[in-house]
């Protein structure tokens, strides 16, 4: 600061001297003790009426010049001092103190505001109130036509107003930062401040906000404008305050967020606006294409977590910390994550909102989308919460966004590098023949599409073959939910993780799990139980007790098939009245983890049956609740003719690297004559690695009855003397 400037404590600080010796600095929320022999003496002199020389001179009666100078220097370095000027006499003390509290020099902040120009652009009523509020903050000039001003304040009724696109372009061309605000309605929306080349642009924001408007768009309705004078006046003042802070030089993370205040409850929250690296306006729209063209390269990835849910590259705490901003009802890809209140807390069931990336084409489709919520499960509540976030991110990433790399061609044109979808869908010709009757009787999850017209031009997407180390093609509609085309995508092999290797491992385990489930269920095989006491796991003991308290039995089948990867099916049934059997599945290299995964999946389903169940809208699920019973489905019960399996019955080699586990599973599948393919579905704006693992020939969990493993493996394992005839396959399809 200038040597002749008057100096003193920052204006928002009050100096208190106790007993003439100790000194304290008080702000609104802090008290700071000033240590040292010169503290009390200097505290009396630092009132803003003296320059440095005056302070040193008046302190000389009690302190040496060196002591006084060192004391002033230490207070300045600690951020307690500022300079005073003649402006102090003309500006309200509270105004200068406010800017000092904001970390600025109050006098400089006031001067900056007085010299500032604001462009006030309004697509909404209320501009006059905001203009007056800006002038009262000390802004020098407010002009609606001055788009090249120091800041543009843009008012709108809707953050998706089409008129904002032209405003964004004009501000971008001029390099003018602009503050967006919605002053109407019961909620004030304020921010972010858009600055060229720094952070998200309006198109990034519009993409995310638009995700949450799908329901309104499908219903083609608009909300009523509401407002009340006190709220309108308060909103104008808050908008002016935020603009003044920016102009004065205040910078904080919240300026890159939308701040929403509910005038009815006074609750408020910041909603971070995410930069979309693939944005067509401020980013590179070719990122998804470039990603699809790259090989999927696995690198060494040490395990950081060995929880009950599996082995991961990051702990649940770290994952939630890194990706928690994905949860927001305004700017997130997940509206919210909340515990399911039905049933005991031990269930640890968490639910997120609907898949925001799915597009509804009708009211019926909208109802399906709104029901398509994601869920999380786990031994702990934190595991379940992170699981719900992961599943929501998985489904968002696997939904069609229209920026995916696609090749348009007929099958015959690309058959040298394409895989026929029949090798993955595995519908029998008789299923195609009877598809209309089947589709009328079953829910959308079990719908059978039309067979591929090999002459029709459709979209194809490349996957990386880990086996052949080259790209292979599959129909885009088989890989992405909602993609136009002849196939119906399903969730088999979809997974996310904090790292690519994490996601690929989980995807492979799911493919193996669902294959084993299909072989057991569709053939109605009698499989051995698994001895839960053998694991000596207190959580499993508690699990059984919680279910017993609800009047339910719990047991686990070992349904491991020909691939030596422990796969379990867990069950819970009521012993009081209708059984309402719930089940869950789990696969893992460690049999203990496979068991826990299956049991936590049972818990995830339990809220549907702990109280009087409501109709789900899924005819297959509702039919199961009413008709499914162990007496008519003996394959649900352990085969008493063979001893229960134990952990030692499964060879388990602990590895400390996720990539090593992936390579092990890959080798098992390739030894069985199969090819392993991976599609990297990671969205640049999401961050969590997302993949779809595809192994042609492995059975999905749903009713797919084409020839192959479904008929061959039970005979190979000695569980059947001959393949099950098509007509004798399980008439009850799995719907999960």
Q: Where are the alpha helices (DSSP H) in 615-716?
A: 619-627, 658-671, 709-716
Mean of all residue pLDDT scores within the chain? 92
Beta bridge partners of 574: 552
| Tens digits of residue pLDDT in 527-581 | 999 999 999 999 999 999 999 999 999 999 999 999 999 999 999 999 988 899 9
E strand residue ranges, 248-404? 257-262, 268-272, 305-307, 310-312, 337-339, 350-354, 373-376
Give DSSP secondary structure letters for 194-206.
Answer: EBTTBS--HHHHH
Cα 88 to the center of its chain, rounded Å: 49
Where is pLDDT greater, at 228 or 309? 228
Q: Is the pLDDT of residue 363 over 70?
A: no
Q: How confident is the model at residue 76 (pLDDT cuts 50, 70, 90)?
A: very high
Least confident range from 171-185, 332-346, 399-413, 678-692: namely 332-346
Q: Is the pLDDT of residue 193 over 70?
A: yes
Return the pLDDT at 89.
85
Task: Give the torsion through C-alpha atoms of 16, 19, 22, 23, to 10 deg.
Answer: 10
User: Residue 110 and residue 113: Cα distance in Å, rounded?
Assistant: 5
Block residue for tokens 């017993």? 548
Where is pLDDT greater, at 280 or 88? 280
Where is pLDDT greater, at 365 or 386? 386
Q: Is the pLDDT of residue 368 over 90?
A: no
In the predicted model, what is the mean pLDDT of residues 231-237? 93
User: Residue 602 and residue 553: Cα distance in Å, rounded?
Assistant: 12
| Tens digits of residue pLDDT in 399-415 | 999 999 999 999 999 99
Cα 447 to the center of its chain, rounded Å: 28
Which percentage of the chain shows pLDDT scores above 70?
A: 94
Q: 3-class SS at 373?
A: strand
Q: Is the pLDDT of residue 661 over 90?
A: yes
| Tens digits of residue pLDDT in 596-628 | 999 999 999 998 888 766 666 678 888 888 777
In the predicted model, what is the mean pLDDT of residues 348-361? 70
Return the pLDDT at 430.
97
In the predicted model, what is the mean pLDDT of residues 125-137? 91
Return the pLDDT at 528.
98
User: Residue 29 and residue 546: Cα distance in Å, rounded?
Assistant: 47
User: Residue 245 and residue 257: Cα distance in Å, rounded?
Assistant: 15
Residue of 390, 581, 649, 361 lying closest to 495 (CA atoms): 390
Give DSSP secondary structure letters for 383-426.
Answer: HHHHHHHHHHHHHHHHB--S-S--EEE-HHHHTTTB--THHHH-
Least confident range from 56-65, 361-370, 518-527, 707-716: namely 361-370
Q: Where are the alpha helices (DSSP H) in 282-362?
A: 287-293, 316-323
């Amino acid at each position: 600061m200038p040597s002749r400037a008057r100096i003193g404590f920052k204006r928002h600080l009050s100096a208190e001297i106790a007993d003439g010796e100790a000194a304290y600095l008080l702000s609104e929320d802090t008290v700071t003790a000033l240590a040292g022999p010169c503290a009390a003496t200097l505290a009396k002199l630092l009132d803003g009426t003296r320059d440095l020389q005056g302070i040193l001179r008046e302190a000389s009666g009690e302190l040496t010049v060196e002591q006084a100078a060192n004391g002033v220097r230490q207070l300045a370095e600690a951020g307690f001092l500022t300079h005073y000027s003649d402006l102090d006499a003309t500006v309200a003390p509270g105004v200068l103190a406010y800017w000092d509290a904001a970390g600025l020099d109050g006098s400089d902040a006031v001067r900056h505001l007085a010299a500032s120009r604001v462009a006030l652009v309004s697509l909404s009523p209320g501009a006059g109130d905001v203009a007056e509020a800006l002038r009262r903050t000390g802004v020098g000039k407010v002009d609606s036509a001055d788009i090249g001003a120091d800041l543009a304040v843009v008012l709108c009724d809707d953050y998706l107003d089409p008129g904002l696109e032209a405003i964004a372009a004009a501000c971008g061309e001029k390099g003018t930062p602009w503050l967006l605000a919605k002053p109407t309605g019961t909620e004030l929306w304020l921010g972010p401040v858009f600055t060229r080349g720094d952070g998200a642009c309006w198109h990034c924001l519009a993409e995310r906000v638009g995700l949450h408007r799908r329901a309104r768009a499908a219903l083609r309705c608009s909300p009523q404008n509401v407002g009340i004078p006190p709220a309108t006046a308060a909103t104008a003042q808050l908008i002016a305050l935020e603009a003044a802070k920016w102009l004065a030089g205040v910078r904080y993370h919240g300026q890159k967020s939308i701040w929403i205040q509910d005038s009815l409850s006074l609750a408020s929250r910041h909603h971070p606006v995410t930069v979309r690296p693939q944005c067509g306006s401020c980013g590179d729209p070719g990122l998804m294409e470039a990603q699809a063209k790259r090989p999927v390269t696995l690198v060494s990835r040490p395990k950081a977590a060995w929880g009950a849910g599996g082995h991961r590259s990051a702990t649940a705490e770290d994952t939630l910390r890194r990706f928690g901003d994905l949860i927001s009802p305004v700017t997130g890809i997940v509206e919210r994550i909340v515990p399911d209140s039905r049933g005991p807390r031990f269930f640890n069931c968490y639910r997120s909102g609907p898949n925001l990336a799915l597009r509804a084409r009708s009211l019926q489709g909208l109802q399906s989308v709104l029901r398509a919520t994601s869920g999380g499960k786990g031994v702990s509540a934190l595991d379940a919460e992170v699981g719900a976030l992961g599943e929501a991110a998985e489904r968002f990433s696997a939904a069609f966004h229209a920026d995916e790399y696609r090749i348009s061609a007929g099958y015959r044109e690309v058959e040298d590098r394409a895989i026929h979808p029949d090798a993955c869908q595995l519908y029998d010709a008789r299923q195609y023949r009877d598809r209309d009757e089947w589709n009328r009787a079953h829910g959308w999850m079990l719908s059978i599409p039309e067979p591929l017209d090999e002459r029709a031009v459709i979209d194809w997407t490349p996957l990386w073959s880990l086996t052949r180390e080259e790209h292979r093609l599959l129909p885009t509609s088989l890989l992405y939910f909602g993609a136009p085309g002849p196939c119906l995508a399903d969730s088999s092999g979809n997974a996310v993780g904090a790292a690519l290797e994490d996601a690929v491992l989980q995807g492979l385990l799911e493919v193996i799990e669902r294959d084993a489930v299909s072989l057991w269920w569709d053939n109605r095989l009698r499989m051995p139980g698994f001895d839960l006491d053998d694991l000596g796991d207190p959580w499993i003991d508690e699990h059984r007790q919680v279910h017993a308290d609800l009047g339910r039995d719990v047991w686990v089948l070992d349904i491991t098939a020909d691939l030596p990867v422990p796969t379990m099916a867990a069950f819970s049934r009521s012993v009081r009245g209708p059984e309402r059997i719930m089940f869950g599945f789990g696969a893992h290299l460690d049999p203990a983890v496979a068991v826990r995964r299956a049991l936590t999946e049972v818990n995830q389903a339990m809220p549907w049956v702990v109280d009087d169940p409501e109709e789900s809208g899924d005819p297959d699920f509702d039919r199961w609740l009413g008709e499914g019973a162990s007496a008519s489905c003996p394959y649900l019960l352990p085969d008493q003719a063979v001893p229960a399996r134990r952990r030692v019955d499964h060879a388990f080699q602990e590895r400390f690297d996720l990539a090593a586990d992936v390579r092990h599973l890959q080798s098992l599948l390739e030894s069985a004559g199969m090819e392993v393919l991976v599609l990297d579905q990671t969205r640049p704006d999401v961050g969590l690695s997302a993949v779809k693992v595809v192994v042609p020939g492995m059975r999905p969990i749903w009713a797919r009855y084409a020839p192959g493993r479904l008929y061959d493996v039970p005979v190979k394992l000695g569980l059947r003397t001959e393949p099950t005839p098509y007509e004798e396959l399980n008439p009850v399809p799995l719907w999960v």
